[in-house]
A and B are shown apart, each in its own frame.
Chain A
Amino acid sequence: MREKAEELLAKKAVDLIIGFGEGSLPLRATPLFIRTPEEADQLIWNSFCDNNLATYLHKFNRFKIGIVVKGCDARSVTALALEKRFQPDQVVLIGVPCQRMVDRRKVKKAAKGEILRSREEGELIIIEGDGFKSSLKRDDFLYTSCKACLHRNPVQANILVGEPVQESGLAEAYPDAREFENMAPEERWRFFEKETRRCIRCYACREACPMCYCAECFVDSSIPKWIEKGLSPSDLQFYHVVRAYHQTGRCTACGACERACPMEIPLVYLTQKLNQEVSELFDFEAGADSKRLPPLSTYDVEDKQEFIK
């Protein structure tokens, strides 16, 4: 990856490369922005490169950008290109077949104390702290959204680094949403209410999401004032319904919203349901096709309408 990045920057094919660098804390990787070929050796790739870097494309949309992408991130870029967020030849995708990312919170819960050092050796994650050292199997600590992932290979990538991985079958798709759907409506509402109640409205979910790029978000708008400031349960529910609904037919299930949440509110089950809906109703999958318009931007005369009186 470093070679490819160096090459791109050296021949000035791109102005900027967005990738991952070593984080300042164990179990973390941080977004890295490099402009010269010499900086390319700071790029890393490990099990903690969990951010969706496509979200930074909006901030640098006047440059030619090389961007390191996983399967989900590549689809986000495709979906953004469909929404005309940048010129088609402006972005060079450096795709990495994804080994699935590790949830650092799950690792922290399994540790006996504060983790001071961590490293990876093949399938193992070795964590060390004050007076303890343990090695954990990385596959036991994957993000739930990664476990359900169907497209780990960034098929749209301009440059592919590494060997493509074997995609898993459909059986694992939407495990959370399916489970949730089997609950009674009262229970579902109680769950949604209980979880959203923790929200502190930091909007990290919105900031982390590559598809949330409105110049003025509905929560910030004062005319009309859709939603009040403050933490009343009703407003929190309102925010979470609309944040998720705005992703209809656009979400690539990267899970960045849930990963960014400091209160650990589950969010993926909401967008998962919407993805399921658009796939059932309109046979659409966000980011899979670079030509097909998002479902809510278009229509079909034959759309189902049994719910309309």
Chain B
Amino acid sequence: MENTKSWEPKILAFLCNWCSYAGADLAGTSRNQYPPNIRVIRVPCSGRVNPLFILKALQGGIDGVLVSGCHPGDCHYLTGNYIGRRKSATFKRFLEYLGIEEGRVQFSWVSAAEGVKFSQVITEVTNDIRKLGPAKRLVKKSEELGVRSFPDP
């Protein structure tokens, strides 16, 4: 994986069931091309995405995370994406403040009718992550799994 020639970014996409997931479906049925680097997790709503999910993904060696939901006003649960938007805004800023690269974690609104936009978003995100290179921060390395000595104060 460290070999950059053969390295392909692994991107985790949290797609909301009602809009973005259907948007991805439409992109597929319309034969819109987009990079094969995303792994999709279907969530009921973009507001369901706990910031812990994002951290857990980064810890597990995912190179980029995309959270995508319905456009404002279109939420199936009326206000889920508004709540999600506040979480995303604060969490994204906080991660960047800590030194996680800008662009590792991204957000988008994709409706069920926007198959073309979906493939564009995925292409953009994949290109961004490719530029950033493999994730190094927060990643749990296999050698860390051993017992560590007690640190000096």
Contacts and interface: CB of A to CB of B under 8 A. Distances in A.
Contact of A234 (B97, B98, B139): B139
A73 to B, nearest CB: 24
Interface stretch (B6-14, B29-37, B79-87): B79-87
A305 interface: yes
B140 interface: yes
Contacts, number: 126
Interface string B65-89: 0000000110000010011011111
Interface string B87-127: 11111111111111110001111000000000001001100
Contacts of A188: 97-99
Contact of A296 (B87, B96, B121, B124): B87
A192 B98 contact: yes
Closest 5 pairs (CB-CB, A-B): A189-B99, A299-B82, A188-B99, A309-B108, A234-B140
Contacts of A296: 83, 86-87, 90
Interface stretch (A1-9, A24-32, A128-136, A275-283): A275-283
Contact of B85 (A186, A226, A308): A308
Contacts of A191: 99
A281 B85 CA distance: 11
B99 A186 contact: yes
Nearest to B144: A232
Contacts of B137: 189, 193
A274 B90 contact: yes
B52 A226 contact: yes
Contacts of A235: 140
Contact of B94 (A245, A298, A301): A245
Contacts of A23: none
Nearest to B139: A234
A264 B152 CA distance: 12
24 contacts: A177-B97, A180-B97, A185-B99, A185-B100, A189-B137, A192-B98, A197-B151, A232-B140, A232-B148, A234-B139, A238-B55, A241-B95, A263-B151, A264-B153, A281-B86, A295-B90, A296-B83, A296-B86, A296-B90, A299-B85, A301-B73, A305-B89, A309-B109, A309-B121
Interface in B38-54: 51-52
A234 B98 CA distance: 14
B89 A307 contact: yes
A234 B89 contact: no
Contacts of A274: 90, 94
A264 B151 CA distance: 13
A180 B106 CA distance: 23
A308 B51 CA distance: 16
B124 A301 contact: no
Contacts of A193: 137
A273 B92 CA distance: 12
Most buried by B among A241, A248, A274, A298: A241
A76 to B, nearest CB: 20
A192 B106 CA distance: 22
A230 interface: yes
Nearest to A190: B99
Interface in A209-253: 218, 226, 230-235, 237-238, 241-242, 244-245, 248-249
A308 B109 contact: yes
A307 B98 contact: no
B43 to A, nearest CB: 15
A238 B106 contact: no
